[in-house]
Each structure stands twice: as C-alpha cells, then as structure tokens.
Structure 1
Amino acid sequence: MRAEARLVAEANGRGGTRLATVYGEPPLLPRRTGNGGDHVEVHLVGGAAGPLGGDDLRIHLDVGPGAHLVVRTVAASLAQPSHPPAPSTLTITATVRGSLAWLPEPTVAVAGCDHETTSIVDLADGAELMWREELIAGRHGERPGDLTTRTTVRYAGCTILRHDLAIGAHHDAGPATIGGARAVGTLLVVGRRAPTESEVRSATAAVMPLAQGPAALVSATAPDATRLREALDGVTVNTRTHDPNAKPDICRKN
C-alpha cells in the first residue's frame, strides 16, 4: 500500500493557528482534535492495520511562521510482517518556521517485521521543535522484528542531529544500543524548553546538549512503554498536555 498525509499550519493573525491543509489517505487519516489557544492539535487515526510489509507511507508537515502545531497518534503503531516478507517504510518530512510538537505513541516491532522510519526536519532560524520517538521490542512475550529509525534535523541550514537506532533480531542489542531493554526512545527539544543535564529525573535517561542551541536530545531505555514515557517526561519539559476536551472528528474554529 502507498499512502500519504499532509498538514499545513498557518498563523491566523489573531494569535492562534489555523490548518490550511488537512489531507490523508488510509491508513494515515489526520483529524483535528483540539485548540489550545496558540496551538492546534491533530491526531493521526489508523484507517487500516499497519504498517504492514510492503507499505510505503509518507507524512508531510509544514508549519508557517507564528503557527504552533501539535501532532499525536490515537494508539501505538504495530509494524507487522507480510507474506511473502517485504520491508515497510514510513517517511516523515517537516518544514518548520514556527513551532512543531511531534508526539506520537510508540511503534511496536512485531515478530517478523522489517520496518524503517526516516524523518527529515528542516527548522528555520528561531523555530521550535519537540520530536519524540519511542520503540517497543515486540509485543508481550515475543521476540521483536527488525525496526530502524533514521532522524535528521537541520536548523537554519545546519545539521544539528543525525540519529539512527535499530532493534531486532538482525541488529546488535548490546550495551551500546538498548542493553536488553524492551523499550527505547528519544525526545529532541529545540528552543527555549530545551532541558539541561540537571533536569533529568530518571536513572535510565540522559540529556545530550546539541552544538546549535538551545537544543538537547533526551535518550532513555526502560522495561516497558509506560516507564519509558515516564523517563522521557522526567525532565522539566512541557510536552503540551493533551487537550481534555478533544473529540475526534470535531473541527473547531479559532
């Protein structure tokens, strides 16, 4: 299956954000779910199982100057194998001149899968970013399939992060990667909310300041998804609390 989703967020001229484009093809179905004052929130709803082997999925995000976009998913993504076996791919491209928070639920490497996620983020000078990635090594009691993430972030034309992570039967799971943990993740923060090393509250998390600041990468491992999220959110970073009044498929006017 080949599918794409596209979101374009623009400042509305009244201190808020409007969605100029909301487009999606199954299984990538974006739904506006909340308005937090200065920002707009969108959830990606899975319109079909996946990603499945053979899928080629693409997500395009464009955040204009003065706009603030938060993107979440309604549930974890299960990267699943196909018969006959085939790799699946998810490519995410983002152009950010305002503020973007990419906060999806984890991706689970189901036994037998072969999945790769590639993310390329271009930030303008002064743009802000929160970018969370969480990987779970298989469902309960199963050995994980192969799952790779490749993330490139550029700020004002300069590459500030190039991060690859791979889990699964064909990848090293030694101390240099996940050390036998079942869950691993990162939270990249660019802008005034970037944490410092003193703000880490978890023994399994670490903060790496980036050269082009203010920016920092929080990395963590954990035995499960719940404790991974606690470790990543253990720094004093506001990852934009979910709008409690959000309801799928309801579009509010600013």
Structure 2
Amino acid sequence: MSVQATARIVATRDGLPVLVSDGPLAVRRTRATGPYTRVTVVGAMSAPLGGDRLAIEADAGEGARLLVDSAAATVALPGRTPEQAHYDVRLTVGENAELRWLPEQLVSAYGSDLRMRTRVELAATARLVLREEQILGRYGEQSGTLATRLTVHRAGRPLLDQELGYGPGAPGGWDGPAVLAGHRAVGQLLVVDPQFEDKPAEPQLLGETATLMPLAGPAFLVTAVAPDARQLRCVLDDVLQARLPG
C-alpha cells in the first residue's frame, strides 16, 4: 500500500511555530551551534517506495535563520507496485531570512523509480544554501530510475531551472563520457546571497570533476561528480568552508 504524507516546518525570527511530522517523515528540533534554528528530518519508516507521494514544506519567515538537515540518507526502493514514487520539496524564504537546506544523500536503489521535485521561492533579500546529492545505486548494484528537477525563483523571477535524469528510464547518454563518465555520485550546491550582486562569483574549476558557475543573479552553482558519496561530500564541503565560514 502506497503512502501519502506531508511534513511542514515554519520558522520565524523567534522560533518554530509549526513543526508537523507525517508518515515516514519525522521532523525534530535539534541542538544547533551559531545563530540558526535547526530541524532534523528523521526517517520513521522505509520510504519512498513505489507509488509513495511524499512532501516536505519549509518556510523561513522574515528575519528567520533556519538550518534543515537529515539524520541519514534517503533510500529510494522498489515497492509492491511498479508505480513511480514522488518526493516534493517546497521551500520559501522571506525578506532578510536565511535557509540552509543540507540533507544527506538520496540513494537510488536498483529497481526503484523516483521523481523528485524541489521548488524554491526567495524574497529579494533572502539567502539560501541548498545541497543536493544523488548516489546512483547502493554498493555493487546498478542505479534505479531517478528524475530530479530543481526550480528556484527570486523576487518572482526565475533564477534556476535544472532537470536531471539517471538510470534505465532516463534518456540515453546519461552515463556517457560527456555526463557522468562512469561516476556514481553527483551533487549540486546552490548559494544565493544579495552580496553577490556587487561582487559576483568567478567561474572556477574545482579539480577534474567539479565546476563553480555564477548564475544570472546573486548566486552561484557548484556541480560535481565523484566515484562515491564520501569524495562528493568532500568537494562540496570544501566550497562551503571556503566561501561560507559562518
């Protein structure tokens, strides 16, 4: 039997007025260092499975500083039915607010079929740090079918719209030399900050398999591939530490 569940997080300058868990998505306030209110997503059961429809909504209101992470990787698994699973993330960041969205990896297990959609709405003075990592197959196995889309609007205008597809159901060439070249870990790090309006980030190669590119707005996007999750995280963490020491 498939599961439908939506977890909700609302942060204000003064706290967390809304923290709602649902189904396999348990959200818990956890101890944080620094100025952030921290929420950790804890998987309460195996999900997403085939046919599941899961969603997380996070709203950082005016002046809020919210950090959302997860206790463990999310593993997409085949279900009892061949239906595609859906996982939607909807993020809203208000004026002078900051959201750091830093979940653990999404693992696409063999035989799974997942569509993941992340939508972000940013106010003009909002700040965002968003990390997404996809691991294509558990150790020693082939990837499942995974389609992801990341859409970001700032002050009502498009900032980024990126769609990726991997696995047996994806268009041909996804594992070729011009895309993953045999790598099984892929990640993106998006940083949006009004300070980049006066001083945009410079394009940069980060080793042999990662790039940093400025966007048409006060933002930059790091895209990286790696042989495994550990090496991928090292690349993205190095960028965070170098450019966002706080």
| C-alpha distance after superposition, 1:138-189 (max 9, x if no partner) | 0011011101110100010110100111111222322343221110000000
**2-structure distance, mates of 1:173, 1:229:** 20
**1-structure distance, mates of 2:34, 2:213:** 31
**Structure 1 residue aligned with 2:86, among 85, 89, 97?**
89
- For 2:233, the equivalent position in structure 1 comes to 229
The count of corresponding residues between Structure 1 and Structure 2 is: 233
Whichever residue aligns with residue 106 of structure 2, its letter is T
Give the C-alpha shift of residue 237 in structure 1. Answer: 3.0
- For 1:28, the equivalent position in structure 2 comes to 25
**Structure 2 residue aligned with 1:185, among 184, 187, 194?**
187
Whichever residue aligns with residue 103 of structure 2, its letter is P
5+ residue gaps, structure 1, are: 13-17, 241-254
CA contact (8 A) 2:116 2:148 kept: yes
- For 1:168, the equivalent position in structure 2 comes to 167
Root-mean-square deviation (Å): 1.6
| C-alpha distance after superposition, 1:56-80 (max 9, x if no partner) | 0011111111101000110111100
Bigger shift: 77-86 or 220-229? Answer: 77-86
Whichever residue aligns with residue 211 of structure 2, its letter is A
TM-score by length of 2: 0.90
**2-structure distance, mates of 1:142, 1:169:** 13
Counterpart mapping for 1:210-225 below 5 A: 210-213=215-218, 215-225=219-229
Higher relative contact order, chain-length normalized (CA < 8 Å, sep 6+): 1
CA contact (8 A) 1:205 1:232 kept: no
**1-structure distance, mates of 2:62, 2:93:** 8
**2-structure distance, mates of 1:154, 1:73:** 24
CA contact (8 A) 1:106 1:133 kept: yes
Aligned-residue sequence identity (percent) comes to 42
CA contact (8 A) 2:129 2:191 kept: yes
C-alpha distance 37-228 of structure 1, shift in aligned 2 (>3 A): closer
| C-alpha distance after superposition, 1:58-112 (max 9, x if no partner) | 1111111110100011011110011231110011111101100110111111000
Give the C-alpha shift of residue 234 in structure 1. Answer: 2.5
5+ residue gaps, structure 2, are: none
Whichever residue aligns with residue 167 of structure 1, its letter is Y
**2-structure distance, mates of 1:36, 1:11:** 16
**2-structure distance, mates of 1:229, 1:203:** 15
**Structure 2 residue aligned with 1:74, among 52, 68, 71?**
71
TM-score by length of 1: 0.87
Q: Is the partner of 1:234 in helix, strand or coil?
A: helix
Give the C-alpha shift of residue 39 in structure 1. Answer: 1.1
CA contact (8 A) 1:27 1:48 kept: yes
